[in-house]
Amino acid sequence: MANIPTPHINAKLGEIAETVIMAGDPLRAKFMAETFLENPVQFNSVRGMLGYTGTYNGKRVSVMGHGMGIPSIGIYTYELFNFYGVKTIIRVGSAGAYTTDLHLGDLIIAMGACTDSNYGSQFGLPGTFAPIADYDLLRGAADTCGKLGLNYKVGNVLSSDVFYGDTPTSDKWMKMGVLGVEMEAAALYMNAARAGKRALVICTVSDHIVTGEVTTSEQRRTTFTNMMKVALSLV
């Protein structure tokens, strides 16, 4: 295909599996590949965005970084869905919790993604699009969490364009029952909807907006393995 390799992924057609598990930090993708995959082969290193393909329980799967924020994940998931034949993308990321029902290490399965981004304007819709997860993936993730005895909640997240906000808005989202904030889910869900593909976001609570609890970058990279196990169970 003329579009391959893309400007951001230097893989050949066939080197990426139909299911890709993605993380913001490319080193988390590397950790997943080395920890969970059999015979992982690196297919991308452009801009340091590492990607690997291997097998998990005999099934072919790829893992890859997607960077920080909606513009970054928007680019990588568009190319994967539209140029590499990827059918399913599952993001495993970190999130800041908005509810005291969640604690560090708990999981959020994003049923929907609110956003303060203008990403959806490109589709020219005569209203507001509600980005949602694929139901079968969502149900499967919740079932796996139950079987593993994990603490988790299913609901809305906020995909924000702003990390260092000048005007705090978290209390407004809390009032609407939003579980936590991250920076990518809405774009992934919109790209999946437009391409007719499947997507899910599973986040580990890495910090708490209410209590002030935090984790280190090393913990976020190497100890958030429960969400990886849940994602891999869906392959």
In a domain, residue 35? The reply is yes
Q: In the block, which residue shows the tokens 């260092």?
A: 164
- The count of domains in the chain is 1
CA distance 127 to 102: 33
Question: For residue 153, is it within any domain?
Answer: yes
- Is residue 1 predicted with pLDDT exceeding 70? no
* Amino acid of residue 232: L
> pLDDT by residue (tens digit) across 151-188?
999 999 999 999 998 988 899 999 999 999 999 999 99
- The residue annotated as part of the active site, out of 116, 134, 143, 207, is 207
Domain that holds residue 32: 19-232
The reply to whether 207 belongs to the active site is yes
Q: What's the whole-model pTM score?
A: 0.96
Considering the chain, what is the average pLDDT of its residues? 95
Residues 6+ apart with CB under 8 A from 222: 31
What pLDDT score does 49 carry? 97
pLDDT over 90 percentage in the chain? 89
> Average pLDDT for residues 115-144, to the nearest whole number?
97
Alpha carbon distance 64, 33 (integer Å): 9
Is 83 part of any domain?
A: yes
In a domain, residue 1? The reply is no
Query: Does residue 11 lie within any of the structural domains?
Result: no
Looking up residue 201, the CATH number of its domain turns out to be 3.40.50.1580
Residue pLDDT, tens place only, 67-102: 999 999 999 999 999 999 999 999 999 999 999 999
Q: Residue 201 has what pLDDT?
A: 98
